[in-house]
Amino acid sequence: MSQGVGVVGLYVRDQDEAIEFYVGKLGFRVHTDARNGDYRWLTVQHPEQPSFQLGLFAPQPPTVDAATAQTLREIVAKGAMPPLVLVVDDCRAAHEDMSANGVEFTQEPVERYGAVDASFRDPSGNGWKLIQGR
Amino acid sequence: MSGQDPALLRRLLRAKDRMEAASHEDWPISRLARVSGVSEAHFARSFRDAFGLPPHRYLLTRRIERAAALLRDSDLSVTEIAFQTGWNSLGTFGRTFRDVTGESPGALRARQQAASHQLDRAPHCFVSAAHRPDLNIAVSEKRRREADANTSGSEETEVP
């Protein structure tokens, strides 16, 4: 067992929609999908990164109160959550595939400083940078 | 301001994203409203409530940010940068740039190119956003306040 970060979570507005996006469009796999009443612990995994899970969590009671959940949904929808980075071997090819799958790009691939990057958002508003590894 | 519908906010974000991606283009309210699926009458107010500044001031900060990045990172002339970042007039660009950032495009270029960049290790896009001017008042208001400050400053020196 190696040490390190195991799960980092995002807030999403709808967990079914998030699976459709992260699994259906980006190619992640569901790692854990466990329900307990209204609560749903949902994590996905990049196929090449078995030691890390990305949590797709709904801001909802009882983990937060209803008013806080509403505030969190607003913050996510405004694109105000911290940046996320997805590293790929070929940014332009990934952009082409993902666009064909209906991913909403907010910046087309640009080459700068010897690397290529693009930007996209998930349906909830979380912003991802797509960066070609060097 | 809170209390906006997250579905509306997500659509307003789309208008903000589109301005950011193509800040050199013209963004009349009608075009922005269409992107967001909001009426023209409600767009500007909704955008301001969501993001804390009017849509065209946001566009201005984005243009200044891009111009500053080009001044720092490219060898393009100030004139070329003005036209690439969406200004129709070099004079307006220079004046607005100075009003927003406090220095002329040429002065900023000289200072930035002389300084070493601590942010080189962060992805460029985030660095760029960090350099976006925080324009919390209108440029016209900023000009007026600076003019007032100069006036009152000179008055003070006259009072013993």
The predicted complex's ipTM stands at 0.94
Res B160 pLDDT > 60: no
Which residues in chain A have Cβ-Cβ distances shorter than 8 Å to B126? Answer: 83, 129
- Report d(CA B47, CA B11) in Å as an integer: 10
Task: Say if residue A62 is preceded by a cis peptide, omega within 30 of 0.
Answer: yes
How large a percentage of chain A has pLDDT more than 70? 99
- Report d(CA B15, CA B18) in Å as an integer: 5
Which residues in chain A have Cβ-Cβ distances shorter than 8 Å to B4? Answer: 74
Answer whether A106 sits within 8 Å of B17, measured CB to CB. Answer: yes
pLDDT of B68-114, one tens digit each? 999 998 899 999 999 999 999 999 999 999 999 999 999 999 988 78
| B149 or B40: which leads in pLDDT | B40
A107: nearest CA in chain B?
B21
Res B157 pLDDT > 60: no
Amino acid at B146: E
Q: Note the pLDDT of residue B134.
A: 82
| B158 or A55: which leads in pLDDT | A55
Answer whether A78 sits within 8 Å of B51, measured CB to CB. Answer: yes
Q: Note the pLDDT of residue B120.
A: 60
pLDDT of B45-56, one tens digit each? 999 999 999 999
**Which whole number is the average pLDDT over B118-147?**
74
pLDDT of A37-56, one tens digit each? 989 999 999 999 999 999 99
How many beta carbons lie within 10 A of that of residue A62, not counting itself? Answer: 9
Residues of B in CB contact (< 8 Å) with A are 2, 4, 6-7, 9-10, 12-14, 16-18, 20-21, 50-51, 73, 123-126
H/E stretch holding A87 = strand A84-88
> Of B6, B9, B123, which has the smallest distance from its Cβ to A117's Cβ?
B123
Answer whether B6 sits within 8 Å of A121, measured CB to CB. Answer: no
Answer whether A76 sits within 8 Å of B6, measured CB to CB. Answer: yes
Answer whether A78 sits within 8 Å of B13, measured CB to CB. Answer: yes
Res B154 pLDDT > 50: no
Q: Which region among A12-21, A88-97, B12-21, B130-139 has the lowest average model confidence (pLDDT)? A: B130-139
> Of A74, A108, A123, which has the smallest distance from its Cβ to B2's Cβ?
A74
Residues of A in CB contact (< 8 Å) with B are 13, 70-71, 73-74, 76-79, 83, 85, 104, 106-108, 112-113, 117, 119, 121, 123-125, 129, 131
Q: Is A91 exposed, middle or buried (0-12, 13-18, 19+ CB in 10 A)?
A: buried
* Residue B156's pLDDT band (cuts 50, 70, 90): very low
- The DSSP secondary structure of A3-59, one letter per residue, reads -S--EEEEE-S-HHHHHIIIIIIT--EEEEEEEETTEEEEEEE-TT-TT-EEEEE--
How large a percentage of chain B has pLDDT more than 90? 66
